[in-house]
Amino acid sequence: ARKAPSPEGAAPSTMHASLGKSCRASLRLQQVRLHVLPRPLSARCPLASCAPARTVSAAASAAAAMIVERVPCLSDNYSWLLHDASTGETALVDSSEAQPVEAALNAKGWKLTHIFNTHHHGDHTGANLELKKRHGLTIIGPRADAARIPGIDVQVQDGDKFTFGSAEVQVFDTPGHTRGHITFYIPSAKALFPGDTLFALGCGRLFEGDPKMMWSSLSKLLPLPDDTHVFCAHEYTQSNARFAVTVDPGNEALAARKSRIDAERAAGRATVPSLLGEEKATNPFLRPFSEGIRKALGVPTGAEDWQVFGAVRAAKDSF
C-alpha cells in the first residue's frame, strides 16, 4: 500500500511522485503551450550526453512551442512532461510511478528522451530506472546529490546551461528542502521547475537545510520575470493559503487569491502553475521584508530577512 504524502514535500523514501500542468489563466485546460521566443537560440550543449548541437533559426523558433503536460499521481503530487514540438524531444521533470507517465506519453504519441530530477526524494526519482530501461533516456540531475539520483547520466550545478529541444535550460542550486536540490528554468518558455523549493503560496519543509540556506535559494528566484510560470511539484495551494492569511492578514491581493483558490479547488481544478509575480505579491515565504508579516509574527525589530523567513517556516510547521 502507498503511504500518504507527507506535508510540503516528501521526506526521504516516503512517497512516489506525479506529473502535472495547469496555469492560473487556463486552469480548465489539460495542456499549456509555452511559445519559444522568435530569436535564435544557441543549441551548443556543454554536456556530453545532451542532444547534438544545432542552431534554431528565428523562423523555426517562432513556429515552435514548448508543451507542458500534467499527469497527476497520488493525492497531491505533480511532475511535468515537457515536449518540444520542433524536435520531438520529451522530458519528464521528476519521476514517480511509470504507469501514469506511460499513459500520458501514449495518449500524446510522444517518446520520452530525458528525465530532469530536482532532488533525490522518492516521489521525484521513483520511476527513474524503470523509465530509463524502457526508453533508453538521459537522466539529468544535481551534481551535489548525484549519489542519491538513480540512473543519473549528466550532473549539473548552479550556473550550468544545456539545450533541450530548441530551448536553453538554466540550472540553479536551491538547497534547503534537501542539500542537493536544484531548479530548472527555461527563459524562452518563461517556465520554472522548482521541485519542492517553491510552492504556490508556500515552500518545502527544511528536511536537510536551514532557514538561511533556504532563503538564499529562494532569493535566487526573485529576480526572474513576474510572468514566469512556476510549475511546482505539489497541490498544496489551498492549505498554504489558509496559513498565509494568518501571517499576512492585511494583504488584499492574498485575500483575493485565496478566494479564487477556494473556488478552483471546489470545482476540482488544479491551482498550479502560478505566476511568479503573484507569488512575489502573496507568498509569505517570499515576503520576509513585509512589515505586516513581521508584526503578525512578533519578529524583533532589525531581524534579517532570513530570520523572518525562518519564523514564517516555523509557524507553518506548527500550523
Residue range 32-65, pLDDT digits in tens: 444 333 222 222 233 333 332 222 222 234 335 8
Active-site entry in 94, 160, 196, 248: 196
Active-site entry in 121, 135, 181, 229: 121
Residue range 266-275, pLDDT digits in tens: 999 999 999 9
Q: How far is CA 182 from CA 72, 94, 131, 166, 307, in A?
A: 22, 11, 21, 22, 23
84 labelled catalytic = no
Residue range 256-265, pLDDT digits in tens: 999 999 999 9
Cβ–Cβ < 8 Å for 8, 196: yes
Active-site entry in 114, 120, 229, 234: 234
Indicate the DSSP class of residue 163.
Answer: E
114 labelled catalytic = no
Q: Residue 10: its pLDDT value, please?
A: 53
Residue range 103-159, pLDDT digits in tens: 999 999 999 999 999 999 999 999 999 999 999 999 999 999 999 999 999 999 999
Name the nearest CA neighbour of 192 among 182, 202, 177. 182
Report the alpha-carbon distance of residue 68 to residue 14 in Å, rounded.
Answer: 27
Cβ-based neighbour number of residue 317 at 10 Å: 11
Residue range 215-231, pLDDT digits in tens: 999 999 999 999 999 99
Report whether pLDDT(4) > 80. Answer: no
Q: Which three cell numbers stand for residue 75?
A: 493525492
Cβ–Cβ < 8 Å for 8, 234: yes
Residue range 59-85, pLDDT digits in tens: 234 335 899 998 888 778 888 999 999
Q: How many Å from the N-terminal Cα to the C-terminal Cα in the chain? A: 28
Q: Residue 37: its pLDDT value, please?
A: 30
The fold adopted by the segment(s) 24-236 is Metallo-beta-lactamase; Chain A (3.60.15)
201 or 58, which is more confident? 201
Q: Which three cell numbers stand for residue 296?
A: 503578525
Active-site entry in 135, 177, 181, 229: 177
Domain extents in the chain: 24-236
135 labelled catalytic = no
Active-site entry in 124, 135, 181, 229: 124
234 labelled catalytic = yes
Report the alpha-carbon distance of residue 221 to residue 228 in Å, rounded.
Answer: 10
